[in-house]
Amino acid sequence: MIAQMMFGLQRYRSWVCLLDHSIKYLLRKITGPKNKVGRALTWKFDKDDADELLKRMESLKTLIHISLEMDHSKLSQAIKENIDSFGTSIRLQLDDIAQVLKDTKAAHEQIRVNNDLDGLRQWLSPCQPAVAHSRSCKRHHPGTNSWFVDNYLIGLLNGGSSGLERVILLKGPSGTGKTTIRSQAIEALAEDGRSATFYFYCSFDDVTTQDPLSIAAAWLVQASIQTQTLLEELLSDFLKSKQRSAPPQFSIQLLEELLAQHFSTLNRVFLCIDAINESKQSASVVDLIFRLARSCNNLTTIVTSTSDLGEPGAPAEKFDISTVSMEQGRMEKDITTYVADITKSHQAFRTASQELREEIIAMITDRLEGTFRYAPWLVDHLTSQKTGRAMRLALQEMPHNLNETYEMLLDRAPKGSSDRASTSFYFVGFSRPWIQSNRRQKLRFCLSYLSLREFESGYDVSDQVLHARFRRYPLLKYMVHNWTWHIQDLGRGFWEAVKPFLDSHSQPGGGYFGWWLRCLGALRECHRIRHDPPLYYVASYSLLNLMEVMLQFDPEIDIEARGGRVGSTALQVAAFRKQFSTTTSLLHSGADAFSLDGSGIGGGFSACF
C-alpha cells in the first residue's frame, strides 16, 4: 500500500523481480555442476559482478526498509487518529453524563424545594379554599346566578362609568345563593384573564377559616403558585422552625406586606371572600380588607355577608362600599329557571301535564321567598311522588315559608323527645363562641322581645297570666335567661340600647325591667323594684356580663347605692349570696369592702377570703 502510494505498483514489482533474479543468479553460481570441493574453494564471481550485485541488494534493502518505515508511520498515524477520535467521543459522552448528572441534581433540588414549598403552603393554609370553591361551583345550575356577573362584574372589567370599585358587598339572607353567585364571579374573572383573582370561603364549621391570618395566608399561597419567590422570605424561617420542631410564627403584618408588594406588580387584582359574617373575627377581617385597599389602588374586593360591613365610626366608613342586595325578585327568577328546567328534564315529571308543571313552578317560587338553597329539597320531595295526584297533594302540604319548614321538621320529632330537643338546641347555641355580628342581632332581638307592649305593665301580673305568656311566647324563656350573655364585648354603642330598658324600672310596675325580674321568679317584694337601683339586682343574680357593661359605660352609676329590705350595696348582696366572681369584679371597680348594710352587718371584706 505504501509502495503503491510512493513509487507505483509496477516499479515496486520490478524491484522485487530484480531482487529475486539476483538471488536466483547467485544461487546458480553457488550450486553449479561442479563438485562440492570446487564449489567451496573456487570464487565464481568476478569483482565487478560482486560489486554490482551488492549495490543492487543494498538498494533493494534500503527501499524495503523505507517501505517498512513508511508503513509503520502510517499505521501509527491511523492508530493515533482512531485513539483521538475515540477520546473525543468519550469526552463528549462524559460531558453528556456530567450534564445529565447536573440536570438530575438540579431536578432533585427543585423537587426538594417544591416539597418544602408545599409543606409551607400546607402549613400556611390548611383549610384549602379550592375544595370549597369546587363544591360551590358544582351546586350551580346553568342559566341561574348570571345577573351579578352580567350587570356588575362585566362593567367593572370593561372599565364602566363607575370606575374602580374598591369594595363590593353582596348582601342578603342566608340561603339566597350568595356563595354560588360569588363562585360564578370567580370563574368569570378567571375566564376573562385580564386580572388576578384570589378567593376565600369562611365557614361556621371550620375555625381555621375564621382567622384573618388564615385568610391572608390563603391569598398569599394562591399567589405563590404563579410566583414562587413570594414565599422565599418565609421559607428559610419555616425550615429552621421545622428543624427545631417548633411551628414558625408569621405576623399578619408580614403577610399583608408581601401581598401588597405582589399586588403592586399586577395590572388588576380581585379579592373574593365569602360569608364574612360566619367569621367570629369578622371585624378584624373587615379591617384586613380595608388595610389592603389602602395599600393597593388596583385592588377590588368582593364580599358576601348577611349584614353590613362594620359599625358606624369603624374604618369601613372611610370607604365607598358598593352594596348589591340579593333582592327577592332576582332570586325568584333563578328559582323559576331551576324548577322549570327540572320539570322538563326529570323523568318523574315526564307524564305531568303542562298545567301541573306551571303550578309546581309558581308554588315553589312563591313559597321559597327567594331562598334558593331549599329549592332542590322541595323538588326532590316532589320527584319522590309516584303520580300527579300525589304531587298535587304534596304541593298542598308544602310549607308556606321557612318558618313552617322548620316547624314541620321539628314536629317530626317524637312528642316525648321535646325536652331532649330543647336541651340539644341550647347545647348548639352555646357549644362555640358567637361572632360579634350574631351577638348584636341576638341582643337587638332579645331587647325587642322583652319590650313588647304587652309587657310594659311590669311585674304586676298573676302567676296564671305569667304562665299563659310563657306558653304564648315560646322564645320568652330563652330571652329572659340568656339576653345578658349576648351583651359582652359589644361596645358603648349598644349600651345606649340597653340603658332605656334598665331605666324603665322607675315606671309603674317596674316597666320592662320589672317584667324581666318577675319572669326570673326570684322576687319576694316586687314593689321595691321601682325604688332600688338596677345594679343591686344585677349583682344579686350574678349577671356578670351586664354588670361589667354598666360599670364601664354608665357615667351616672352609683356603685354604693343601696337596695333591698335592709339597704345593702351591690357588693354586700353579692357577698351574701356567695357570688365570688361578681364580688371580685365589684371590688376591682372600687366598691367599699368595709361599709355596713342597713342592719349594721358588713359583708364585702369577708367575701374576699
Domain identity same for 464 and 482: yes
Question: Looking at the DSSP assignment, which residues form a beta bridge with residue 200?
Answer: 273
Q: Answer yes or no: do 224 and 90 share one domain.
A: no
Distance CA(131)–CA(203), nearest Å, equals: 13
Look at residue 347 and tell me if it is in a domain.
yes
Boundary-marking domain end, from 263, 295, 326? 326
The answer on 270 and 232 residing in a single domain is: yes
Shared domain for 137 and 251, answered yes or no, is yes
C-alpha cell of residue 327? 333582592
Residues 172 and 94 in one domain: no
> Which structural domain, as residue segments, surrounds residue 461?
432-608
| Cell 359582652 found at | 488
For 305-321, the pLDDT digits (tens) are: 988 886 444 444 456 78
Calpha distance 129→127 (Å, rounded): 6
The CATH number given to whatever domain includes residue 568 is: 1.25.40.20
Q: Quick check: is 420 in a domain?
A: no
Average pLDDT over every residue of 349-363: 83
Same domain, 339 and 231: no
**Same domain for 231 and 178:** yes
Residue 111 lies in a domain: no
Calpha distance 482→515 (Å, rounded): 15
The answer on 336 and 310 residing in a single domain is no
Angle between helices 212-224 and 252-263 (to 10 degrees): 40
Among residues 379, 412, 445, the one where a domain terminates is 412
Q: What was the pLDDT predicted at 26?
A: 65
* CA-closest candidate to residue 486, choices 438, 540, 537, 419: 438
- Judge whether 423 lies within some domain: no
Percent of the chain's residues with pLDDT above 90? 1
Q: Tell me, what amino acid is at 562?
A: R
Element (H, E) at 196: strand 196-201
Say if 106 falls within a structural domain: no
Q: Let me know: does 439 contact 488? Beta carbons within 8 Å.
A: yes
Neighbouring C-alpha atoms within 13 Å toward the C-beta of 10: 0
| Domain end position, chosen among 263, 296, 326 | 326
Tell me: do 440 and 384 sit in the same domain. Answer: no
The verdict on residue 120 lying in a domain is: no
Predicted confidence band at 29 (pLDDT cuts at 50, 70, 90)?
low
- Residue 234 shares a structural domain with residue 266: yes
Q: How open is the CA angle 13-15-21, to the nearest 5 degrees?
A: 100
| Domain tally, the chain | 4
pTM: 0.58
Instruction: Indicate if 318 and 467 belong to the same structural domain.
Output: no
pLDDT digits (tens, 9 = 90+) for 412-460: 777 667 667 667 766 665 555 555 556 677 788 888 888 888 888 888 7
- Output the pLDDT for position 431: 56
Q: Which CATH number does the domain housing residue 161 bear?
A: 3.40.50.300
| 442 and 480 inside one domain | yes
Q: Looking at the domain assignment, is residue 386 inside a domain?
A: yes
| pLDDT single digits (tens) 186-202 | 888 888 878 889 999 98
Q: Is residue 114 part of a domain?
A: no
**What's the rounded mean pLDDT across residues 351-365?**
83
